[in-house]
Structure 1
Amino acid sequence: MDFRFKNKKITGILSILPSKEIYFDNELEYYNFSESKATKLKLTMGYNKRRIFDKELCVSDICVQGMEYLLATGKLCKEDIDAMILVTQSQDYFLPPTCNLIQGRLGLGMDVLCMDIVQGCAGYILGLIQAFMLLEQQNINKVVLFNADILSRKVSRYDRQISPMLGDACSITIVEKSDAPCDILCNYNVDGGRAMSVNIPAGGWREPSTSQSAILEEDKDGNRRSRNDMVEDGSQIFNLIQLNVPKMIHHVLDAAGTSKSEIDYYMVHQPNRFMIQKLADKISVPRDRMPSNIVENYGNSSGVTIPVNIVHNLGSLLISGKKKLLLAGFGVGLAWGATILDIGNLDFCEMFEVSNEK
């Protein structure tokens, strides 16, 4: 489905990262890789280091620390916040909603709209769409969009397929009404028939966690995981990126009346370096205009890789100037979405490290 918006803009992006780094080379004992295969994987997939939170730090803790930083430095005022959206797969509790906890801890007004969205790799795009829709309301002028995941705790350290690249991260994006005329095109799609291609079998209402669901079992590829751990069908994700995502990108370009050459950068979700480079080749754009260096520096933090990508690669450029970007997310759900918009002259576009303490 396509969505069109006018007079909306992003005014700031904060990427919030843990200080703790885990190096691929230091975890080889868990994966049983030969030295030659480990070297090849580092080069091809971008395995190097990733960031993870520990000591039971939860999503609300991370978001609150990021917000307190923005408030303390004058980059954001409590009184200006009309709505908050949290996109996460790592809720603090089954209930209450995590965004409500953030609102309470920050002491925001009771008329601030709070919303949780459970979504993964395409979640940042869905969060932007929801923020733009809220800004259609007369009384909403500034929306805080959180995107956060701490999925490293839901992956077996003996899973050679997922563990080497999965990281934790959070982002805070400020979305506001704009006085300057601007057009934004978004597109979002879901194939629920393939939703279980990425899943955590146990832990929800359908299959509660038990002592049995915590038992490690080995699959045909040598991965050891329990039913409490994430599992994915890598071939389904690769097919999504090679078939559905290029069609979507060409569609949004056509619908926006924009040529590929008019896009300064293609800032997309990064499952690993190999898949992103293949996507760039598939849609015939230079690899340097579709950066693929996030997993090797921070890990795959689901949809949060998009704002981390923007800040890491374009931070200073977006403070002093403006760029036309195509943002795209794809994966868990299966869901895939994209948007084309101009971003620039931001109030802030930076990284913030949080301590591993509540």
Structure 2
Amino acid sequence: MKLRFQGKRITGLLSVVPRHEQSFVEDMKLFNFPEARSRKLMEVMGYDRHRLVEEGVCVSDLAVAGLQHLFESGKLAREEIDALILVTQTPDYPMPPTSNVIQGRLELKQDLFCMDINQGCAGFIVGLMQAFLLLEQPAIGKVVLINADVISRKTSPKDRNSYPLIGDAAAITVVERDPEAGVIHANIKMDGMRREALMIPAGGMRLPHSEQTALLEDVGDNNLRAQDHLRMDGSAVFNFVQVEIPPMVEGLLEQGGMDIDAVDWFLFHQPNRFMLQKLADKIGIPHAKMPMNVVEKYGNSSGVTIPMAIVENLRGPLLAQRFQVCLAGFGVGLTWGSMLMELGELGFCDMIEI
């Protein structure tokens, strides 16, 4: 599906990461696997360290801390917010919506549109699309998009296929109308037939949590996880990315009438360095134009990785300059989407630890 937006832009970005940092060397102690092979995995995939929440920390805690920082620093006024969109796969509760929890904890106005969206790796793209659509309403002048996940709490520490790359984080993106903003081109696709490539089997109504679903099982090669934990078919995900993402990005560039040279930065979801390198090579994107350093520093925080890549690599330049950027998210669902837009001259672009 091809989409087109105009007169909207991102005006601020904040990343929120837990202070607790854990190294891959520490992770190795949890695995029943030869250390030499683990270190080889570390080198190839780009693992180094990741940020993990402490026990009991939830998505609303990260979001509230980030918004309070913006309120207290004068970068955002609470009464300005007309819509609050939360994109997460790890809500505080099955009900009520976590966006309402955030609104209540911060005592934001009642005349506020709150929405939870259950999306993951493409969640930043999906969230921006929803924010742009809400800004078509005259009553809505400023949308706060929150991407946040605490996936580490749903990942087995004894599963080396998933645990070393998982990170917890949140991102807060302010989106507003701007009559001088250029055209934003976007596309989105979904394929639920391949939903089992990335999923947490238990915990919903189809398979409720129980003592049985919490039991650790050897799922092969001494990897231990329960049905309550994240399950990832690495080969299926890798093949999906290599097959589906290049034509999506190429189609987006054609849609926008641009070639690779006209794009300053390709800011993609960060599954791991190896996958991004292969993807860049297949599309023909110079590695220097595609940051690949998020997973090795913070871990894969699902829909947060795109704004994390922006803040980590461009926080200084984006305060004063504008760049032509291509954003792309792909993963759980399966869902894949991309966006071509101008980004820059932001009111804030920063990262905080909590």
Name the TM-score, length of structure 2 as normaliser.
0.98
Cross-structure match for 1:176: 176
What is the match of residue 2 of structure 2? 2
Counterpart residue identity of residue 213, structure 2: S
Structure 2 unpaired stretches of 5+: none
CA distance in 1, matches of 2:336, 2:237: 11
Amino acid at match of 1:184: I
User: For 2:93 and 2:28, how far apart are their aligned partners in 1?
Assistant: 33
Offset of residue 34 of structure 1: 2.6
- How many pairs align? 354
Q: CA deviation at 1:220?
A: 2.3
Distance 1:193 1:297 in 2: 33
Distance of 2:272 and 2:262 partners within structure 1: 26
1:327 has 2:335 as partner:
no
1:96 CA displacement: 0.3
Render the CA deviation track for 1:28-61: whole Å, top value 9, x for unaligned. Answer: 1222333332222222101100001113011111
Q: Deviations over 1:66-118 (max 9, x none)?
A: 10100000000112111010000010000000001111111111111000000
Tell me, yes or no, if structure 1 residue 47 matches structure 2 residue 66.
Answer: no
Q: Which residue of 1 aligns with 2:96?
A: 96
Equivalent position amino acid for 1:199 in 2: M
Amino acid paired to 1:294: V
CA distance in 2, matches of 1:50, 1:241: 23
Q: Is the 8 A contact 2:9 2:181 kept in 1?
A: no
Whether 2:226 is the aligned partner of 1:215: answer: no
2:294–2:300 Cα contact (<8 Å) kept: yes
CA distance in 2, matches of 1:185, 1:221: 44
Equivalent position of 2:161 in the other structure? 161
Number of the residue aligned with 1:67: 67
User: C-alpha deviations, 1:141-170, integer Å up to 9, x for none?
Assistant: 110000000000111111010011101000
| Equivalent residue number for residue 129 of structure 2 | 129
| 2:294–2:309 Cα contact (<8 Å) kept | yes
In structure 2, C-alpha distance between the alignment counterparts of 1:106 and 1:344, rounded to whole Å = 28
Q: 1:240: Cα distance to partner?
A: 1.4
Structure 2 CA distance for partners of 1:48 and 1:182, relative to 1, 3 Å = same
Match of 1:36?
36
Task: Map 1:287-306 to 2 at 5 A.
Answer: 287-306=287-306
Identical columns (%)? 49
- Cα distance between partner residues in 2 of 1:143 and 1:330: 23
**1:317: how far off?**
0.9
The separation in 2 between residues aligned to 1:259 and 1:253, in whole angstroms, is: 6
2:77 is matched with 77
**TM-score normalised by L of structure 1:** 0.97
**Partner residue in 1 for 2:254:** 254
Calculate the aligned-residue CA RMSD, in Å. Answer: 0.9
1:147 and 2:150 matched: no
Deviations 1:243-293 (A, max 9, x none): 101110001000011111111110000111100010000101111111111
Structure 1 CA distance for aligned equivalents of residues 169 and 208 of structure 2: 26
Question: What is the rounded CA distance, in whole Å, between the counterparts of 2:208 and 2:139 in structure 1?
Answer: 42
